[in-house]
Chains A and B, each alone.
Chain A
Amino acid sequence: MSLILDHVNHIYGEDTNLAVAALRDINLVIPDGQFIGLIGHTGSGKSTLVQHLNGLLQPTSGSIYFNGQDISDKDFNKKELRSKVGLVFQYPEHQLFEVTVFQDVCFGPKNLGLSQKDVEIRAYNALKQAGVKEEQFYQSPFDLSGGQKRRVAIAGVLAMQPEVLILDEPTAGLDPKGRDEILGQIKKLQKETGITVILVSHSMEDVAEYVDRIIVMNKGAVMFDDVPKEVFKHYEALEEIGLAAPQVTYIVNRLKKEGVPVDTNVTTIAEAKDAILKVFKEGFSPC
């Protein structure tokens, strides 16, 4: 179970005078069970890229392979691909339409042609995984708060039981608490079920704590593709394309510059704390 992108290009409005190259020569291998952060500035092509992964968009040139099969082949089963690669769009709460939360989450598995019982079991599990409270199951989705709606919408995709879960800016417009809760829930889910997760975001801070690998996109091309620590080493280059490394990266680098022998190889607040405390334990004294 893996996704391979081979020289993928995508041009919007190809034969008009408004042609925009959204993707330029993308080559990626996405193996099983990885937690990937896909980072880029607005308009860098990240949303376009993820829509290719479940066949909603076709590459203008190049190929995408899912489990060794070319997904743009005529006889390729797109419906199956879409059940295996779950895509949660930006502001997914805008797609809710059913009378109750539970029925809305049933929509996906129902489309897979499962029996009523299986559909309901899947919906129940998905709602639990997304952290929706049971008393909300039979409420109208439109009565919920923004954060709750979003969980329901994510559950709607989880109910398809995808092997690859792609979330396009799942935390846009949420407060910090809602953001941490949703990201925590996704991380927990990924650990428990071992599915591949691709988290699209424009904020390094959001993803640094959770992901194993970061892909940085700039102007439709892949700029960096590495583990977070390595990517953050290029924090100056990241700044140039309008992104930023997590704040702790700046703190430790600044400390180092000022002559404090701190380990700059940190990505999270917890790691930074340990690194700084270690310096003091080793007998460093300022002044």
Chain B
Amino acid sequence: MLRDITLGQYYQTESVIHRLDPRVKLVGTICYIISLFVVNNVWGYLVAALFLALMIHLSNVPFKFMVKGMKAIVFLLLITVIFNMFLTPGEALISFWKLTITKEGLRLAIMMAIRLSFLIVGSSVMTLTTTPNNLTDGMEKLMNPLRKIKVPVHEIAMMMSIALRFIPILLEETDKIMKAQIARGADFESGNIIKKAKAMVPLLVPLFISAFRRANDLAMAMEARCYRGGDGRTKMKPLVYKKADRIGYLVLSIYFIVCLSIGKICEILMGMILGIMMSVG
């Protein structure tokens, strides 16, 4: 029942994307997200979609898994679309009662929907192909320069990795407690919102207790192994860039440049075609 959440879940398989250095994937995801929000024309989105499709294809992860992550944001997506559609001022398209759908609004709504869904699927590609440990390793390495200005980079990365590590554990625990309470006749599905909220108490109390117990155990285990923060700590498998990673960065820069300039290129091309047609005509 709770297995539908794929954000932050790793999908074990063998692929080029899986083998990439986590730093490449992190930078790539950030670039991709930036590109989504900078681009404002159809051609750019087309390039973004093609790039995403290529990455999904290369990652060997079934497309189903990517879409599963979307389920969690369907609601958010709907709200965004509706608000944008009705509340953007501009040329009226359809209007009924007190609501008006404007042309600008529709455009903005579609754009936001595309941005959000690409964003989720794009970051799913990263989380599905990178183990949480690798991901936080990459993050630590990327943020390393910040240590000069006294940012506790290692601690942040460690907290991240523990938090990510706990997601599946707590999900499993939730599943277990939920089943145990259902076995005692609990009903989590029916009833109005207040009843549903009340029904969560038998689930949340044991869950919190178990989370604290686990946190306590983990802290003890870390201390018992002499963990004392990042200073002087070495890695068993330090991250090293390989040839594939350099190619990855190259592909990424090409994508970034193409994606941002394609609007201009198309404009110029269209202009040229139009010009030629005009002169011919």
Contacts and interface: CB of A to CB of B under 8 A. Distances in A.
Interface of A: 15-18, 51, 54, 56, 79, 82-83, 86-87, 89, 92, 94-97, 107-112, 142, 156-157, 160
Contacts of A156: 184
Nearest to B186: A111
Contacts of B209: 94, 142
Contact of A108 (B173, B176, B185, B201): B185
> Which label, helix, strand, loop or mixed, suits the secondary structure of the B interface?
helix
B209 to A, nearest CB: 7
Given A17-B12, A18-B12, A96-B206, A107 B184 contact: yes
Contacts of A92: 180
Contacts, number: 66
A97 B201 contact: yes
Interface residues of B, number: 24
B147 interface: no
A79 B189 CA distance: 12
B183 interface: yes
A79 B188 CA distance: 12
Interface in B240-279: none
Interface of B: 11-13, 62, 64-65, 173, 176-177, 179-187, 201-202, 205-206, 209-210
A109 B202 CA distance: 14
Contacts of A87: 180, 183
Contact of A17 (B13, B182, B187): B13
B179 A89 contact: yes
Contacts of B201: 97
A79 B185 contact: yes
A53 B181 CA distance: 16
A95 B206 contact: yes
Contact of B181 (A15, A17, A95): A95
Given A94-B210, A96-B206, A89 B180 contact: yes
Nearest to A87: B183
A17 B14 CA distance: 11
Nearest to B205: A97
19 contacts: A15-B62, A15-B64, A16-B62, A51-B179, A54-B183, A56-B179, A56-B182, A56-B183, A79-B185, A79-B187, A86-B183, A89-B183, A97-B201, A107-B181, A107-B186, A108-B184, A108-B185, A109-B185, A160-B184
